[in-house]
Structure 1
Amino acid sequence: MNFSIIRYILGNILYFEAAFLVLPCITALIYREEQGFAYLVVLAGCLVAAFIITRFKPKRRDFYTKEGFATVSLTWILISIVGAIPFVITGEISFAVDALFEIVSGFTTTGSSILTNVEALSHTSLIWRSFSHWIGGMGILVFVLTILPMVGGHNMYMIRAESPGPSVEKLVPKIRKSASLLYIIYIVLTLAQIILLLAGRMPAFDAICTTFGTAGTGGFGIKNNSMAGYSDYVQIVTTVFMILFGVNFSVYFLFVMKRFKQGLKSEEVRTYLLIIAVSIALITANVRESFPSLHEAVQHVAFSVASVITTTGFATADFNAWPTFSKGILVTIMFIGACAGSTGGGLKVSRIILLIKGIKKEMQLFLHPRSVKVIKFEGKPIQGEMIRATCIYFVAYVFLFAISVLLVSFDGFSTETSFTAVVATMNNIGPGMDMVGPTGNFSEFSAASKIVMTFDMLAGRLELFPILLLFVPSTWKRS
């Protein structure tokens, strides 16, 4: 393990976190809120610490998979701890475990909250919560790598460790340019949504916070009723953009490069959109009588389905009160999640496709042992190593999920609450069912359960293995 290069990168990360903290400080000036002082103090602390840490250049620039995974995990832990400090200093979330849960939920784009009255927060803290979604949506290190080529050609090790999905490929020969292209697309979509929300007469502050939550598929609301109080226009725009941010960004790159046919042939995106359409149709048929009109039913169901499958977590209706069949569909798509290479969480549609194709292949081998069946995905043959990695990921996911549910169940809440609380945090969704439904929150859980779910949020966002490798002794052996 090359500790010097990891230290150097973490020092640079603190510079970037200081830059991120400028936004809440500016917000405090605009609204004349004293809470901005706390953010200014943390900003200054980040600059001092970063200066001290980066004064000494790394002795070696060796950087491989082990360093990449450790750096990604430590980066997310570091920015979360630092990002929680302003909440504690301001007293708006005075309990350190709660503050850490809240900001980890922000950076991992989960959206689960311990707050019982979000409207009591200052504008300064509200913008910081929402901005943390936008920062975490595309990944902190993806953002940093668009600015600083810190470890030369080895940046791919960090990109692969942080990017969601079974595999990450370069869009162009240079990885730094790939990261830049992704962020340009991300920023353009973000600005487009802000403009459209402003066109719908949504207040500027609300439009910015809502867009940050949508872009990162995080879903921190700034109102106690989430998105229910906004106009139909605002809800429809948000629905569309939630779905757009759940699409693999490589497809947008293909569109930008005018390779429309290749982009439209994406098997994952077509499956993703099909799941959304089928879910909306089935749930609408099931809850139609609960709404005054078919239009209203479709609108709220579409919003809920888009919010859940993209793991955004916004709400316009209390789907916790819907029939069991509808809730069953929502829980199912909570596990599925959005596309690989998007800002969404969950297992990812691509993994589900690969698992189904792998099962189908095994069944055919039982019937025809001598047959040779090649699995294809996105028109390309898939190596057995990819199927193996997908299966191992799924096993690790189920194992961690089961342990987490068991630990959280010690709090004594209902099975539905404990089960869906872990589903919501590990898949980076936000709301679950029962006590943690759209109208509930996570405040009643014990500190121990909140720590478990905080870990789950980080593990889910980083695709399990980067965070799990921190607990493997051989990871820390000097090379």
Structure 2
Amino acid sequence: MQFTVVQRILGLLLALFSTTMLPPVVVSLLFGDGFYESFLLAFGLTLATGIMLWLPVRNIRRDLRLRDGFLVVVLFWSVLGTFGALPFAVGAEPNLSVTDAVFESISGLTTTGATVITGLDHLPPSLLYYRQQLQWLGGMGIIVLAVAVLPMLGVGGMQLYRAETPGPMKDNKLTPRITETAKALWYIYLGLTVACVLAYWVAGMSFFDAVGHAFSTVAIGGFSTHDASMGFFQDKPLIEMIAIIFMLASGVNFALHFLAWRSLNLRPYLRDAEFRTYAIVLGALAVITSSYLYLAEVFPNASQAVLHGVFQAVSIGTTTGFTSADYSQWPGFLPVVLLFASFVGGCAGSTGGGMKVIRFLLLIKQGLREILRLIHPHAIITIKVGGKPLPSRVVESVWGFFATYVAIFAILLLLLMFTGLDQVTAFSAVAASMNNLGPGLGDVAAHYGNISDFAKWLLCFAMLLGRLEIFTLLVLLTPAFWRK
């Protein structure tokens, strides 16, 4: 383990992250909310820490190894979550404890969208903007952004990129150099964000709300500048329709967006098995939700039932976490089926959370193969995706991921119930955190402010597990990782 190399990179990344606290200063000055001093203090502390880490090892020029990359990724998200909490902790508003501030920061950076803050409509605009910006930065992974920048500072990026995206990914290198890959992904991400801002603005949002909600929509985050979330704009159904479109787009593998943009046709989407499964799952969920809402007469007419049903199905299914209504109070099995949909989540290589559609697809195919093996015990049956057979190593890794996911989920569930939470609250809190969804059921349907500090730290760990797809974080806990 090259700790000096890790320290140098962490210092550079932390110094880079400190600059993200300057835009809220501008927002504070524009709106005159008087909150700019908190951001300047947070900027100074973060920058100073980054420089102090970097200075002693600034002349280290050794190559970064994959093992070092895993450590950098985990340390950076942990440290960044801590320093990202500073504006929440040092300001007079919203007067959060250290635990709540870290929870809010990690929830934003991991694009979970779980919040401990109430009274959003009365918070300073600069703090509201900062929350949304945290999600936007976390959406594609700040490490991927750093991959595009660090080579200019003399640090290679392929190891970091591989550590950040350990899941079953296609087209890991869309362009010959990893730097160009990171830039291509960010251009697409930025383009979607700008288009979403303009669409929201034209549809009737204020420019401030349009920027804030575009940040969290494209990031599949779910933070809002209003307590009512998207329900604040319920008199403007066009806004919900726009949100549906951009949530769907952001839940798709960004590699497909790149390939479609480069070839200027839709064939990459149509040929992709994961995308087809993604569309089928969300389509079926939208039909079931809308039909049940209509038959149960939850809304006065069919158009509202369809709009709210489709919106909530896409929002929860992609793990965005926006709400146009309190879905936790919907009748029958709807709240639970929507929560279960978040376990599937978005596509691999998207800003969505969950276990990812490709893993869900492979689990189904593996289950069907085992059934066929019972019928034909001597047959050699291969699993194919997109007409191509998959190596057994990939299928094994998916089963390993699923087994580990279930085991960790059960442990966290029991620990939360140990803190005094009821079964529904504990189950939904773990699901919403590990799937980077946000809103849960029971006592965490509206916010997470009323649960214990110990429960919040457990959920912070769950959010990081979900954002880093479990193994990136767990590998650091194995003795073999630290052996020479």
TM-score relative to the length of structure 2? 0.95
Q: Match of 1:119?
A: 121
Amino acid at match of 1:77: S
Is residue 183 from structure 1 mapped to residue 189 from structure 2 by the alignment?
no
Contact 1:171 1:178 in 2 (8 A): yes
Q: Match of 1:162?
A: 164
Contact 2:38 2:91 in 1 (8 A): yes
Q: 1:73 to 1:150 in 2, by over 3 A?
A: farther
1:340 corresponds, among 322, 337, 348, to 348
Amino acid at match of 2:420: G
> Matched residues in 2 for 1:43 and 1:417: separation?
36
Contact 1:160 1:167 in 2 (8 A): no
Q: Residues 424-467 of structure 1, C-alpha deviation per residue, up to 9 Å, x if partnerless?
A: 01100010112222xx2111111100000000001100001121
> Matched residues in 2 for 1:65 and 1:426: separation?
25
User: Displacement, 1:415?
Assistant: 1.1
User: Displacement, 1:469?
Assistant: 2.3
Q: Match of 1:133?
A: 135
Larger RCO: Structure 1 or Structure 2 (Cα < 8 Å, ≥ 6 residues apart)? 1
User: Displacement, 1:349?
Assistant: 0.4
Contact 2:147 2:158 in 1 (8 A): no
Q: Match of 2:274?
A: 268
Amino acid at match of 1:76: W
Amino acid at match of 1:229: F
Contact 1:15 1:47 in 2 (8 A): yes
Q: Match of 2:12?
A: 12
User: Displacement, 1:7?
Assistant: 0.7
Q: Residues 313-341 of structure 1, C-alpha deviation per residue, up to 9 Å, x if partnerless?
A: 11001111112322232022011101110
Q: Residues 193-218 of structure 1, C-alpha deviation per residue, up to 9 Å, x if partnerless?
A: 00111111211111111011101111
User: Displacement, 1:165?
Assistant: 3.4
Contact 1:63 1:151 in 2 (8 A): no
> Matched residues in 2 for 1:238 and 1:103: separation?
24
Q: Match of 2:201?
A: 198
Contact 1:70 1:469 in 2 (8 A): no
1:398 corresponds, among 406, 413, 419, to 406
User: Displacement, 1:152?
Assistant: 7.3
User: Displacement, 1:366?
Assistant: 2.2
Q: Match of 1:422?
A: 430
1:232 corresponds, among 226, 233, 237, to 237
> Matched residues in 1 for 2:134 and 2:220: separation?
11
1:255 corresponds, among 250, 255, 260, to 260
Map 1:4-43; keep pairs closer than 5 Å.
Answer: 4-43=4-43
Which one is further off, 392-401 or 27-36? 27-36
Q: Match of 2:317?
A: 309
User: Displacement, 1:476?
Assistant: 3.6
DSSP-derived class of the 2:430 partner: helix
Q: Match of 1:219?
A: 222
Map 1:75-154; keep pairs closer than 5 Å.
Answer: 75-91=76-92, 92-149=94-151
> Matched residues in 2 for 1:415 and 1:378: separation?
40
Contact 1:337 1:427 in 2 (8 A): yes
Contact 1:337 1:346 in 2 (8 A): yes
1:448 corresponds, among 432, 436, 454, to 454
> Matched residues in 1 for 2:113 and 2:65: separation?
32
Q: Percent identity?
A: 36
Runs of 4+ in structure 1 displaced over 6 angstroms? 150-153
Q: Residues 171-199 of structure 1, C-alpha deviation per residue, up to 9 Å, x if partnerless?
A: 11111111110000000000000011111
User: Displacement, 1:58?
Assistant: 5.5
2:466 corresponds, among 448, 460, 479, to 460
Contact 1:35 1:90 in 2 (8 A): yes
Give unmatched runs, 5+ long, in structure 1.
none
DSSP-derived class of the 1:257 partner: helix
> Matched residues in 2 for 1:34 and 1:287: separation?
45
Contact 2:61 2:154 in 1 (8 A): no
Amino acid at match of 1:235: E
Give unmatched runs, 5+ long, in structure 2.
none
User: Displacement, 1:60?
Assistant: 5.2
> Matched residues in 1 for 2:300 and 2:16: separation?
49
Map 1:49-68; keep pairs closer than 5 Å.
Answer: 49-55=49-55, 56-57=57-58, 59=60, 61-68=62-69
DSSP-derived class of the 2:240 partner: helix
DSSP-derived class of the 1:148 partner: helix
Q: Match of 2:391?
A: 383
Which one is further off, 243-252 or 263-272? 263-272
Contact 1:422 1:456 in 2 (8 A): yes
User: Displacement, 1:163?
Assistant: 2.8
DSSP-derived class of the 1:229 partner: helix
Contact 1:164 1:340 in 2 (8 A): no
DSSP-derived class of the 1:442 partner: coil
Size of the alignment, in residue pairs?
476
Map 1:271-290; keep pairs closer than 5 Å.
Answer: 271-288=277-294, 289-290=297-298
